[in-house]
C-alpha cells in the first residue's frame, strides 16, 4: 500500500475516510455524507452530471433515494496516491418506481461494478468523480442483455 499523504493525511486515513463515505452513501440518509464533504465540494457523476456544493450534492443524492431502495455501495479495493484515493465497489439497489425499468422489475435488485476517485482537502472530500455505466443496471436485471 502506498503511504503517501494528501493534505497531510496518510493513505490509510484516506481509505478510512473513503470507507466511511461509502457507508454514509449506503445509509439511506441524504445528510449522512455531509460531515465528510467540504461545503463547496464537487460530485462529478459520469452518468448524472456535475453537482457543485453540498446542497446540490445532497439534492442529487436525495432524488436518487426516491428511485432506489436499499442503496448499497460496498468497496472492495482501494488505490492511493498523493492526491487522493480511487475506490472500486459494487453498487446495488432495489427498483422502486415502475417507470424506471417496468412494473415487473419493482422490488428486484440490480447490482453493478463502479469506481470513484476522491480528492481531499485535509480530512474532508473536496471532489468525488464516479464512473459507472448507467445501462448496466438494466442489464443486471436481464433487460437488453
Cell triple for 36: 465528510
| Nearest residue to 114 via CA among 79, 88, 139 | 88
9 near 120, Cβ under 8 Å? yes
| Nearest residue to 53 via CA among 64, 63, 39 | 39
Q: Comparing 61 with 4, which gets the higher pLDDT?
A: 61
Say what the pLDDT of residue 134 is. Answer: 83
Burial class (CB in 10 A: 0-12, 13-18, 19+), 113: middle
Q: What is the pLDDT of residues 14-67, one digit of tens each?
A: 999 999 999 999 999 999 999 999 999 999 999 999 999 999 999 999 999 999
What pTM was computed for the model? 0.91
In the three-class reduction of DSSP (H, G, I as helix; E, B as strand; rest coil), residue 30 is classed as coil
Say what the pLDDT of residue 7 is. Answer: 59
Q: Is the pLDDT of residue 6 over 60?
A: no
Q: What is the pLDDT of residues 64-123, one digit of tens each?
A: 999 999 999 999 999 999 989 999 999 999 999 999 999 999 999 999 999 999 999 999
Q: Are strands 124-131 and 37-45 parallel, antiparallel or unpaired?
A: parallel
**Ordered domains of the chain (ranges, CATH):** 11-140 (3.10.450.50)
Band the pLDDT of 5: cuts 50, 70, 90: very low
d(CA 105, CA 89): 23
Q: Is the pLDDT of residue 144 over 90?
A: no
C-alpha Rg value of the chain to the nearest Å: 16
Q: Are strands 84-95 and 109-121 parallel, antiparallel or unpaired?
A: antiparallel
d(CA 71, CA 38): 23
Amino acid at each position: 500500500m502506498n503511504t503517501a499523504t494528501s493534505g497531510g493525511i496518510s493513505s490509510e486515513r484516506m481509505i478510512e475516510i473513503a470507507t466511511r463515505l461509502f457507508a454514509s452513501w449506503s445509509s439511506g440518509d441524504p445528510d449522512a455524507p455531509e460531515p465528510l464533504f467540504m461545503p463547496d465540494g464537487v460530485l462529478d457523476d459520469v452518468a448524472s452530471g456535475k453537482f457543485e456544493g453540498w446542497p446540490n450534492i445532497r439534492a442529487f443524492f436525495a432524488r436518487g433515494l426516491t428511485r432506489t431502495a436499499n442503496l448499497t455501495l460496498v468497496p472492495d479495493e482501494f488505490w492511493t496516491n498523493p492526491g487522493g484515493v480511487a475506490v472500486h465497489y459494487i453498487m446495488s439497489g432495489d427498483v422502486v418506481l415502475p417507470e424506471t425499468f417496468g412494473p415487473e422489475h419493482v422490488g428486484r435488485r440490480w447490482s453493478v461494478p463502479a469506481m470513484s476517485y476522491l480528492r481531499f482537502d485535509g480530512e474532508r472530500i473536496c471532489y468525488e468523480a464516479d464512473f459507472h455505466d448507467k445501462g448496466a443496471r438494466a442489464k443486471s436485471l436481464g433487460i437488453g442483455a
